[in-house]
Copies of this chain bind each other. A is one copy, B any other.
Amino acid sequence: MNEQLKAILEALIFISQEPLTLNKIKEVLEEVPEDELQAALEALLADYAADSRGIQVIQSAGGYLFTTKPEHDQWIRRLLQIEKKTKLSSAALETLSIIAYHQPITQAEISAIRGVDSTYCLKTLLQKKLIKIVGRKKAPGNPLVYRTSERFLQYFGLNSLEDLPREEEIAKILEEEKQAIS
């Protein structure tokens, strides 16, 4: 294994503020054969998987990124003197998950599923850049159409939309809940 290459990868991921994709790595290190890159990357991930480290490499939005560990949250907040980060409101989360599973989707379609007008939630989500407008639907009134963004993936630590909890997983939870009630 190429130790020097591993060190370079570590430096590159360290410097990135957004998940560093394999494509970008290849662009930077275009001289290096891909299988060598892969091997070095895997070795680096293995190093960081060790329990004793204070930083981790996570895979998110199709790239690699350093983050601290959840269990160190309180110390970091003490250092930065920051309150707990705020979660999305239930209404915003509801709207967002409908968009995630039904995209591309219009405001009217979202509101129909929720049974409530969702305009205000769309504003919040647009401002947080968790969703984006991607055009118009060919339908009466030509309504705007929404999709989730890159930042959505990053926000939830998903590698791609494929990583969203699947139908079967949801069905299983519903089944378990039903059993619990009866």
Complex contact B135–A78 (CB within 8 A): no
Q: Is the CB of A54 within 8 A of B174?
A: no
Interface bracket on A? 35 or more
Q: How far is the CA of A28 from the CA of B157 in the complex (A)?
A: 28
Copies of this protein chain in the complex: 2
| Contact call A173/B54, Cβ cutoff below 8 A | no
Complex interface bits, A58-70 against B, C-beta within 8 A gives 1, otherwise 0: 0000000010110
**Cβ proximity bits A4-47 to B, threshold 8 Å, 1 near / 0 not:** 10111111101110101000100111000000000000000000
Residues of A within 8 A of B (CB): 3-4, 6-12, 14-16, 18, 20, 24, 27-29, 51-55, 66, 68-69, 72, 75-76, 78-80, 82-83, 89, 91, 119-120, 122-123, 126, 133-136, 142, 144, 156-159, 163, 165, 169, 172-175, 177, 181-182
